[in-house]
Amino acid sequence: DPRFFREFLRHQNNVLLSLRFFLWLLSYYNVSPDCDSCNVLFYALLEAKACNAAKWFIDHTGFIPDRDHLERYISCLCEGGFVKEAVHVFDNLKGVGVCPSIRTWNSALLVCLKTGRTDLLWKLYGEMMESGVLADVDVETVGYLIRAFCDDGNVSKGYELFRQILEDGLDPGNVAFNKLINGFCKERNYGRVSELLHTMIAKNCAPDIFTYQEVINGLCNQIKGLEGLRIFNDLKDRGYAPDRVMYTTMIHGLCEMGSLGDARKLWFEMFNKGMVPNEYTYNALIHGFWLSLRGRTKKAYFLFKEMMQKGIVRDVLTYNSLIKGFCKEGKIFQSTNLLKELLVESLQPSTSSYTPLIKKL
């Protein structure tokens, strides 16, 4: 009796136990599941976000949910990261002539982005167009497409789409802006980066901490650390609080340019703000000391010992920087000891671990 099972579910907090009880009833009485009871149980599984159980239920009972339940099922699969399964359900809906709502399409596009499956995103987008939902496409959909273009390395296409929705008076959101900024930074197109930042401000879409992080990271990667530092300071003037990742990015960028003094200022600024450097921050500054033409290996080694005292992991990159630094100063004995220590620590040496020593022998 579906009414009995519905009442049972209402008093049962564990939906998986309800599923087991339901299957036991079917087995004990040797009957086929009725549609009403299946709908009730399937809905309960979706509400509990039990994606695997819901999928198993469909596969083993032959139950065919109605449109509303299928859409909810797609959303559940997307939330659980089951992108292939979600696409499969879309194909099933298409096969029976049912077109999901734009909200369901968008949830599937988003999970494709999150899982790095832009191939499936474009497949779904093609099906969207075939299904006749073009009129329902909203700014959220377009934002996902812009992000997909950028992830595929086709920033110019993403930018074209971006300009179109701006002309329509729509705001694609900070995530789309940030993706484009990151893409143009990689292409060293800083004119576009500047344009995007000004557009954000003009549209009252204030750059957030992640926008600044994309710009600073892009500039530092292209050896434009001083420009990155200017934006970094502007960020602080606007009231933002840079995190450890951003400080590390800046320190690394400045060290790569040889601006060791500015890098050290940021290092001490971190401590003054109660921010503890991690292994990446230490590695960046140790590497900076090695790059210094004035030979500051002694200070780099001090940081190396400090890492050990504080229990911070020292990896192959840490050792390699010091080995290079000591070899650069002609201190072969110290370099050899570091290589031995690296092996004792069960770390795997790289070519860069041996090359400086080989050149000096």
SS (H, E, C) 160-198: HHHHHHHHCCCCCCHHHHHHHHHHHHHCCCHHHHHHHHH
Decide: 157 and 165 in contact? Cβ < 8 Å.
Answer: no
Q: Quick check: 307 and 314 in contact, CB under 8 A? A: yes
Q: What is the pLDDT of residue 202?
A: 78
pLDDT of residue 127: 81
Residue 28 is predicted with a pLDDT of 64
Q: For 13, which DSSP code?
A: S
Q: Report yes or no: 216 and 231 within 8 Å, Cβ to Cβ.
A: yes
Rounded to 10 degrees, what is the CA torsion of 64, 65, 67, 69? -160
The angle subtended at Cα 254 by Cα 251 and Cα 258, nearest 5°, is: 130
Distance separating alpha carbons of residues 212 and 220, to the nearest angstrom = 12
Cα of first residue to Cα of last residue in the chain, in angstroms, is 87
pLDDT at site 272: 93
CA separation for the pair 196, 290 (Å, rounded): 37
Answer whether 0.75 is exceeded by the pTM: no
Q: What pLDDT does residue 7 have?
A: 66
Report pLDDT for 294: 61
Q: Round to whole Å and give the CA distance between 243 and 236.
A: 11
On whether the CB atoms of residues 311 and 325 are closer than 8 A, the answer is: no
Ranges of the chain whose pLDDT falls below 70: 1-13, 21, 25-34, 62, 95-98, 134-135, 292-295
pLDDT computed for residue 26 by the predictor: 65
